[in-house]
Chains A and B, each alone.
Chain A
Amino acid sequence: MPNENGTAREITYREALREAMTLAMRNDDSVFLMGEDVGVYGGAFGVSRGMVEEFGEERVVDTPLSEAGFTGLGIGAALVGMKPIIEVQFSDFITHCMDQLVNQAAKLRYMFGGEAEVPFVLRTPGGAGTGAAAQHSQSLEAWFVHVPGLKVVMPSTPHDAKGLLLAALDDPNPVLFYEHKLLYNRKGDVPEEEYRVPIGEANVSREGEDVTIVSAGLVHHYALEAAESLADDGIEAEVLDLRTLSPMDHATVAGSVEKTGRLVVVEEDVKTAGWGAEVVSRIVEGESFYALDRAPARVAGADVPIPYNKNLEAHVRPSPEKVIEAVRSLVDERVGVYS
């Protein structure tokens, strides 16, 4: 597919990430990758495979199992002008990094009166669907949306993965970069050269008149699948991929909701205090509230840890079918049938 940037070809999400890191490291000696097993092992999900061969162990650094320590190290290196990419093997282990992220990275610039910058990127895969159970399947990104001073991005396509990672590396602020284990093998068109996808901009990935579906990450594809099958029944959904959770692109969401009058949020994290609640709040407390002709709905993870058994796991996760059901009950003309 030709692209505004020139040549594009189909590669995986994993390859797109590797390409972004590789380009950044070729161009800028201050960029480095650090994390558990990122070297010869290539990372737990193979994202950095081959990179230590090109850049050496000085720049692709295997760490001890010390998530708090090497997150702090990344922050300190950023403070003195380096550009770290810190990989946390599963996003569940980010609990170990909490102090460093929340009390340090997010606040240094502000506390120092704007006299410092922390250009720090932390990449980590979240999400369920792999049978890895409760301690290896969570979607905890909403926590960081709640912390002023952190940016949170969550690309759903190889194209956005590359463009957002390069944008994150340009950004003077700490950026949490959420990947998904079930996206790594997904293919898509990606330009060969460098380009940026701006942080904070949602993408309208499908246009429609009847309902707005806001999503991000893996479940964005569930939303698109649902939209295709709803179209067979004459329901045209507009599907938005937020791409960045913080700062949130409210304007694009509001514009779409004002057009369709109906809002469904699709998110993989648990429903209670998930980032979808923020999307909905911004709509109902703003002008676009008056454009709504149905109460907004959320399709989210159930409020439980992720169970191991395949059927149980599927039971608590969002799915295209659950999105279809939510949209159907929202567009039903009979009053009071939606929940």
Chain B
Amino acid sequence: MKKYENRLELLETMLRIRAFDEKVDELYAEGALHGTAHFYVGQEAVAVGVISALRDGDVITGTHRGHGHALAFGLDVKKMAAELLGKASGYCHGKGGSMHIADVSAGMLGANGIVAGSMGIVCGAAWAFKRRKEDRVAVCFFGDGAVQEGIFSESLNMAAVWSLPVVFVCENNQYAMSLSVERGFANSRISEKADGYGMPGVTVDGMELPEIMEVASEAVERARSGGGPSLIEANTYRYLGHSKSDANLYRTREEIKEWRESDPIGRFAARLEKSGDLEKGGLPEIEKKIYEEVEAAFQWAANEPEPEPGSALEDVYA
């Protein structure tokens, strides 16, 4: 998994995620991609902040909105681009696409097309770590919508009762498709649910990277040292539609604009300028570098070979 050596790398990774999803959005708009994708733009600080608190051996599970988790974990941009283009050299050899990018041997246990589909899986990884006395931590990313599924309750209960080394990270981006958290919950303060299961829960500003890093480090440390699971609710926002097709009928332009004004990348870049980690006015140059890197990855991927048709029949035992 990716090791974050310095604060600039955090910024670069957020930019890489944004550049990647903007590129994917563009490709869909051109009709160049099959299927669908969900964009992480606006939420970059959550994946980067949480994953930067991990170390080698730790694992994560992602979601349908999963490019950000994968990139923050250190998956290769080229192989991700190849997967989106359905190429043989993609992470899933063209079989998975956007919603199923995984690198299990590295500890990225997969994006997931089923909302809340990984909540049991993450408990399984954590249970194995505990049983084998390995001090590894499993992180589960999921949206506010997942909290409405039955398996959310089952998983948090199991994790708490068996004191599993899990960090549950709810990315509360205010909507599950068109359903706002206000309409989806009688009590929309998701972190408050933790108490009912017997684990700590905290809400954090998901647009503010240092804050996320702080609560994530605490939760990861607790899990690693045998203190059991935690629930983090990161308040964030998806700038783009739910998926490639979305008329945004359920929210206002003003609301989107307001959230964009507290952009996690802009905020963090400003901090770095202040601290001297980033040269004043240095952001555009880094941006340019990262956007070029992503562009090059997609160009490379476009020239990669298609999988053999017969490979469609491989990789099932029964």
Contacts and interface: CB of A to CB of B under 8 A. Distances in A.
Interface of A: 36-37, 39-42, 44, 62-69, 92-93, 96, 130-136, 302-305, 307-313, 315-316
Nearest to A316: B312
Contacts of A316: 312-313
B94 A62 contact: no
A177 B219 CA distance: 45
A96 B178 CA distance: 20
A307 B184 contact: no
B96 interface: yes
Contact of B114 (A64, A66, A93, A312): A93
B34 A64 contact: no
A39 B35 CA distance: 24
Interface string B65-91: 000000000000000000100110000
A48 to B, nearest CB: 12
B149 A65 contact: yes
Interface stretch (B7-15, B223-231, B283-291, B303-311): B303-311
B42 interface: no
Given A37-B178, A39-B178, A308 B86 contact: yes
B148 interface: yes
A92 B313 contact: no
B145 interface: yes
B267 to A, nearest CB: 30
Contacts of B307: 309, 311-312
B170 to A, nearest CB: 13
Contacts of B94: 307-309, 312
Interface residues on B, range: 35 or more
A303 B183 CA distance: 41
Given A65-B148, A309-B87, 4 more contacts: A44-B177, A65-B145, A311-B309, A316-B313
Q: Which of A36, A65, A69, A302 has the most CB of B within 10 A?
A: A65
A65 B92 CA distance: 28
Contacts of A44: 177
Nearest to A133: B97
A68 B177 CA distance: 18
Contact of B312 (A42, A64, A130, A302): A302
Contacts of A37: 177-179
A92 B114 contact: yes
Q: Which of B100, B145, B150, B178 has the most CB of A within 10 A?
A: B178
Contacts of A310: 34, 86
Contacts of B95: 133-134, 307-309, 312
A-B pairs with lowest CB-CB distance, top 10:
A131-B35, A308-B97, A131-B34, A135-B113, A309-B86, A64-B148, A309-B94, A41-B178, A312-B312, A65-B145
B96 A66 contact: no
Contacts of B312: 302, 304, 307, 309, 312-313, 315-316
A96 B115 CA distance: 11
Contacts of A92: 113-114
B146 interface: yes
A69 B306 CA distance: 42
Contact of A304 (B83, B97, B309, B316): B316
Contacts of B177: 36-37, 41, 44
A197 B9 CA distance: 63
Contacts of B87: 309
B205 to A, nearest CB: 24
B122 interface: no
A304 B249 contact: no
Contacts of A39: 178
Interface string B291-318: 0000000000000001101111101100
